[in-house]
Amino acid sequence: MNITPALLADRFDARQCALLEAAAGVFARFGFRKASMDDIARAASVSRQGLYLSFSNKEELFRRTLEYALKQQLSAATAALSRSGATLESRLIAACEEWSGRYVGLLGADTADLMCASTSLAGTTLEQYEAQFEAALARAIMASPLAGVCGAAHVLPAQLARALHATARGLKHGCKTRSEFVSGMLAAVRMLCLPLNQADA
């Protein structure tokens, strides 16, 4: 992962960012159950005792890591949607790649274990960030000419955002590489933006 600590300065300091980035990599490779505090300490180049000074147990570390990763993903996705001069098509693809595509091809065999841990240990954290991502997509759609297309089709921008998110989520679980994910999102978003492209032609 390419983490930018400055994006997270309100919640995590630089030392915590380094620890959580290392933890995210270990959890992604091994899953929650198989990842050990020793594995994470080695990846972060700290002692096991040093890791326990910051996090009381693996469950707390996982919760903080999940929040950290989701916050970083949402920040990057929101920035992608705000790029000035970029087409709506490219902004939507980039946002979905930042939110759903960044771990494609990097996760180990225990992806299901990570999802279970996210639900059982982090409660509604994932749902809350997913709702924020969909809201950001909906705002970008509402601020574009695509809002008029939605109105003509009697589809709310929030409904379209949810469908787009569902597409990205499905591709995340079905693609083996990030480039395959981007290719799938390109097909979906290009069809979505076709009325705009035809109007410009």
Condensed to tens digits (0 to 9), the pLDDT of residues 13-31 reads 788 888 999 999 899 888 8
Reported as type and span, the H/E element at residue 69 is helix 58-81
Which residues, in sequence order, are CB contacts of 64 under 8 Å at separation 6+?
A: 16, 20, 55
Closest CA to 95 of 136, 128, 56: 136
Return the CATH number at 67: 1.10.357.10
Q: Are 167 and 185 in contact (CB under 8 A)?
A: yes
Give the C-alpha separation, 187 to 18, whole Å.
Answer: 36
pLDDT of residue 1: 38
* Domain count within the chain: 1
Nearest to 134 by CA among 185, 174, 92: 92
Cα–Cα distance, 65 to 127 (Å, whole number) = 16
Q: Give me the domain span that covers residue 143.
A: 5-200
Cα distances from 73 to residues 80, 83, 94, in angstroms, run: 11, 16, 11
**What pTM value is reported for the model?**
0.84
Q: 151 and 84 in contact (C-beta within 8 Å)? A: no
Q: What is the pLDDT of residue 140?
A: 96
Q: Give me the pLDDT at residue 109, please.
A: 63
Residues of the chain with pLDDT under 50: 1-10, 201
